[in-house]
Chains A and B, each alone.
Chain A
Amino acid sequence: MSNILEVSNLTKTYSSGSKSLTVLSDISFTIQSGDKLSIVGSSGSGKTTLLGLCAGLDRATSGSVILNGISLDKLNEDERAYVRNQHVGFVFQNFQLLPTLTAVENIMVPMELRREKGIRKKALELLDRVGLAERHDHYPTQLSGGEQQRISIARAFSNNPQILFADEPTGNLDEETSEKIEHLLFELNRESGTTLVLVTHDLDLAKKTDRIIKLKGGMVLHPSDQLATENG
Chain B
Amino acid sequence: MDKKISIPNQKVAWQWVFLMAWRDARKSRSRLFLFISSIVIGIAALVAINSFSDNLQSDINSQANELLGADLELASNDSSFRYPVIEEMSHEVSYENSFASMIFFPKNQESRLVDVRALEGAFPYYGKIETEPADAEATFRDGTRKALVDQSVLVQYNVGIGDSIRIGRVLFKIEGSLISSPSQSIGATLVTPAVYIPMAYLKETELIQKGSRVYYRRFYKFNDPPADFNIDDQIRTDSDSLRAARISSETIRERKEETGDTFEDLADFLNLVAFVALLLGCVGVASAVHIYIKEKIRLVAILRCLGASGRDAFYIYLSQIGAIGLIGSILGAIVGTFIQTVLPRVFADFLPVDVTFSLSWPSILGGVLTGLFVSILFALSPLIAVRRASPLITLRGIQESGKRKIDKAQWLIYGFIFLFIVGFAFIQIGSIRDSLIFTLFIGLAFGFLAGIAKIIMWLVKRFFPDSWSYVWRQSLANLHRPNNQTLVLISSIGLGTALITTLYFIQALLINEVEITTNNDRPNLMIFDIQSHQVDAINTKATERGLPILQSVPIVTMRLSSVNGITYKQVLEDTSINMRGGMFRREWRVTYRDSIIASEELTSGTLKMLESRSEELNEKYKDIVLVSLEEDYVERNNLKLMDTLVWDVQGVPITTQLGSTRKIDWQMVQTNFLALFPTEVLEQAPQFHVLITRVKSTEEGALFQRDIVKEFPNVSVIDVGLILNTIDDILDKIAFVIRFMALFSIITGLLVLISSVILSKFQRIKESVLLRTMGGSRKQILSINSLEYFFLGSLASLSGILLAMLGSWGLAYYSFNSTFVPNILPIITVYLIITCLTIIIGLFNSRGIISKPPLEVLRNEIQ
The residues of A with any CB-CB pair to B shorter than 8 Å are 3, 6, 14-16, 48, 51-52, 57-58, 66, 68-71, 75, 77-79, 81-86, 90, 92, 94, 96-101, 105, 109-110, 112-115, 139-141, 155, 159, 167
Known: A14-B402, A84-B307, A98-B302. A57 touches B394 (CB 8 A): yes
Q: How far is the CB of A45 from chain B (nearest CB, A)?
A: 14
Known: A98-B303, A113-B16. A70 touches B395 (CB 8 A): no
Known: A14-B402, A70-B5, A109-B303. A96 touches B309 (CB 8 A): no
Whether, in the assembled complex, B545 has its beta carbon less than 8 Å from a beta carbon of chain A, the answer is no
Q: How far is the CB of B404 from chain A (nearest CB, A)?
A: 13
Whether, in the assembled complex, B782 has its beta carbon less than 8 Å from a beta carbon of chain A, the answer is no
Residues of B within 8 A of A70 (CB): 2-3, 5
Interface residues of B in 397-440 (CB under 8 A from A): 397, 402-403
When the two chains form their complex, are residues B395 and A81 in contact, meaning their CB atoms are under 8 A apart?
A: no
Residues of A within 8 A of B859 (CB): 141
When the two chains form their complex, are residues B306 and A113 in contact, meaning their CB atoms are under 8 A apart?
A: yes
Question: For the complex, what is the distance from the CA of A159 to the CA of B162, rounded to whole Å?
Answer: 96
Q: B863 is contacted by which of A75, A99, A109, A155 (Cβ under 8 Å)?
A: A99
Whether, in the assembled complex, B13 has its beta carbon less than 8 Å from a beta carbon of chain A, the answer is yes
Question: For the complex, what is the distance from the CA of A70 to the CA of B6, rounded to whole Å?
Answer: 10
When the two chains form their complex, are residues B23 and A101 in contact, meaning their CB atoms are under 8 A apart?
A: yes
Whether, in the assembled complex, B480 has its beta carbon less than 8 Å from a beta carbon of chain A, the answer is no
Residues of B within 8 A of A78 (CB): 7, 309-311
When the two chains form their complex, are residues A52 and B395 in contact, meaning their CB atoms are under 8 A apart?
A: yes
Known: A98-B299, A100-B26. A115 touches B13 (CB 8 A): yes
Whether, in the assembled complex, B235 has its beta carbon less than 8 Å from a beta carbon of chain A, the answer is no
Residues of A within 8 A of B218 (CB): none
Q: How far is the CB of B854 from chain A (nearest CB, A)?
A: 15
Question: For the complex, what is the distance from the CA of A159 to the CA of B306, rounded to whole Å?
Answer: 10
Residues of A within 8 A of B310 (CB): 77-78, 81
Residues of B within 8 A of A51 (CB): 395
Residue of A nearest to B858 (CB): A141
25 A–B contacts from the bound complex (CB under 8 Å) = A3-B1, A48-B396, A51-B395, A57-B394, A58-B392, A66-B2, A70-B5, A77-B304, A79-B5, A81-B307, A82-B7, A84-B391, A90-B305, A94-B397, A96-B298, A99-B299, A99-B863, A100-B23, A100-B24, A105-B23, A109-B303, A112-B13, A113-B16, A140-B863, A141-B859
Question: For the complex, what is the distance from the CA of A97 to the CA of B24, rounded to whole Å?
Answer: 12
Residues of A within 8 A of B396 (CB): 48
Whether, in the assembled complex, B27 has its beta carbon less than 8 Å from a beta carbon of chain A, the answer is yes
When the two chains form their complex, are residues B2 and A167 in contact, meaning their CB atoms are under 8 A apart?
A: no
Q: How far is the CB of A3 from chain B (nearest CB, A)?
A: 8
Question: For the complex, what is the distance from the CA of A194 to the CA of B680, rounded to whole Å?
Answer: 115
Residue of A nearest to B5 (CB): A70
When the two chains form their complex, are residues B395 and A57 in contact, meaning their CB atoms are under 8 A apart?
A: yes
Residue of B nearest to A56 (CB): B391
Q: B5 is contacted by which of A75, A109, A113, A114 (Cβ under 8 Å)?
A: A75
Residues of A within 8 A of B241 (CB): none
Q: B28 is contacted by which of A100, A105, A109 (Cβ under 8 Å)?
A: A100
Question: For the complex, what is the distance from the CA of A191 to the CA of B287, rounded to whole Å?
Answer: 49
Q: B306 is contacted by which of A69, A85, A99, A105 (Cβ under 8 Å)?
A: A85
When the two chains form their complex, are residues A82 and B307 in contact, meaning their CB atoms are under 8 A apart?
A: yes
Q: A167 is contacted by which of B19, B303, B395 (Cβ under 8 Å)?
A: B395
11 extra A-B contacts, CB within 8 A, seeds A69-B3, A96-B305: A15-B402, A70-B5, A77-B310, A81-B391, A84-B307, A84-B391, A90-B394, A98-B24, A115-B16, A139-B27, A139-B863
Q: A92 is contacted by which of B23, B299, B304, B395 (Cβ under 8 Å)?
A: B395
Among all A-B residue pairs, the 8 with the closest Cβ atoms: A85-B307, A69-B3, A99-B863, A78-B309, A82-B7, A100-B24, A57-B391, A113-B307
Question: For the complex, what is the distance from the CA of A223 to the CA of B392, rounded to whole Å?
Answer: 30
Known: A15-B402, A100-B24, A100-B28. A57 touches B392 (CB 8 A): yes
Q: How far is the CB of A109 from chain B (nearest CB, A)?
A: 6
Q: How far is the CB of B314 from chain A (nearest CB, A)?
A: 11
When the two chains form their complex, are residues B395 and A83 in contact, meaning their CB atoms are under 8 A apart?
A: no
Q: Mark B362-402, 1 if CB is under 8 A from A, else 0.
A: 00000000000000000000000000001110111100001
Residues of A within 8 A of B20 (CB): 109
Residue of B nearest to A68 (CB): B3
Residues of B within 8 A of A66 (CB): 1-2
Question: For the complex, what is the distance from the CA of A98 to the CA of B20, rounded to whole Å?
Answer: 11
When the two chains form their complex, are residues A112 and B16 in contact, meaning their CB atoms are under 8 A apart?
A: yes
Whether, in the assembled complex, B308 has its beta carbon less than 8 Å from a beta carbon of chain A, the answer is yes
Residues of A within 8 A of B28 (CB): 100
Residue of A nearest to B24 (CB): A100
Residues of B within 8 A of A81 (CB): 304, 307-310, 391
Known: A82-B307, A84-B305, A84-B307. A96 touches B3 (CB 8 A): no
Question: For the complex, what is the distance from the CA of A115 to the CA of B305, rounded to whole Å?
Answer: 16
Residues of B within 8 A of A6 (CB): 1
Q: How far is the CB of B373 from chain A (nearest CB, A)?
A: 27
When the two chains form their complex, are residues B306 and A84 in contact, meaning their CB atoms are under 8 A apart?
A: yes
Residues of A within 8 A of B2 (CB): 66, 69-71
Residues of A within 8 A of B403 (CB): 15
Question: For the complex, what is the distance from the CA of A139 to the CA of B23, rounded to whole Å?
Answer: 11
When the two chains form their complex, are residues B307 and A100 in contact, meaning their CB atoms are under 8 A apart?
A: no
When the two chains form their complex, are residues A109 and B306 in contact, meaning their CB atoms are under 8 A apart?
A: yes
Q: How far is the CB of A77 from chain B (nearest CB, A)?
A: 7
When the two chains form their complex, are residues A83 and B308 in contact, meaning their CB atoms are under 8 A apart?
A: no
Question: For the complex, what is the distance from the CA of A112 to the CA of B394, rounded to whole Å?
Answer: 20
Question: For the complex, what is the distance from the CA of A96 to the CA of B424, rounded to whole Å?
Answer: 44
Question: For the complex, what is the distance from the CA of A174 to the CA of B1, rounded to whole Å?
Answer: 42
Question: For the complex, what is the distance from the CA of A82 to the CA of B312, rounded to whole Å?
Answer: 12
When the two chains form their complex, are residues B394 and A92 in contact, meaning their CB atoms are under 8 A apart?
A: yes
Question: For the complex, what is the distance from the CA of A71 to the CA of B5, rounded to whole Å?
Answer: 9
Q: Mark B285-324, 1 if CB is under 8 A from A, else 0.
A: 0000000000000110011111111111000000000000
Q: A96 is contacted by which of B24, B312, B390, B394 (Cβ under 8 Å)?
A: B394
Question: For the complex, what is the distance from the CA of A68 to the CA of B1, rounded to whole Å?
Answer: 9
Question: For the complex, what is the distance from the CA of A41 to the CA of B394, rounded to whole Å?
Answer: 20
Residue of A nearest to B397 (CB): A94
Residues of A within 8 A of B19 (CB): 112
Question: For the complex, what is the distance from the CA of A139 to the CA of B310, rounded to whole Å?
Answer: 25
When the two chains form their complex, are residues B23 and A79 in contact, meaning their CB atoms are under 8 A apart?
A: no
Residues of B within 8 A of A159 (CB): 307
Residue of B nearest to A84 (CB): B307
When the two chains form their complex, are residues A83 and B5 in contact, meaning their CB atoms are under 8 A apart?
A: yes
Residues of B within 8 A of A110 (CB): 306-307
Residues of A within 8 A of B10 (CB): 115
Q: How far is the CB of A107 from chain B (nearest CB, A)?
A: 11
Residues of A within 8 A of B390 (CB): 57-58, 77
Question: For the complex, what is the distance from the CA of A104 to the CA of B47, rounded to whole Å?
Answer: 44
Question: For the complex, what is the distance from the CA of A114 to the CA of B308, rounded to whole Å?
Answer: 9
Question: For the complex, what is the distance from the CA of A192 to the CA of B253, rounded to whole Å?
Answer: 84
Residue of A nearest to B26 (CB): A100
Residue of A nearest to B312 (CB): A113
Residue of B nearest to A82 (CB): B7
Residue of B nearest to A92 (CB): B394
Question: For the complex, what is the distance from the CA of A58 to the CA of B395, rounded to whole Å?
Answer: 10
Question: For the complex, what is the distance from the CA of A139 to the CA of B859, rounded to whole Å?
Answer: 11
Interface centre among A3, A51, A68, A109 (most CB of B within 10 A): A109
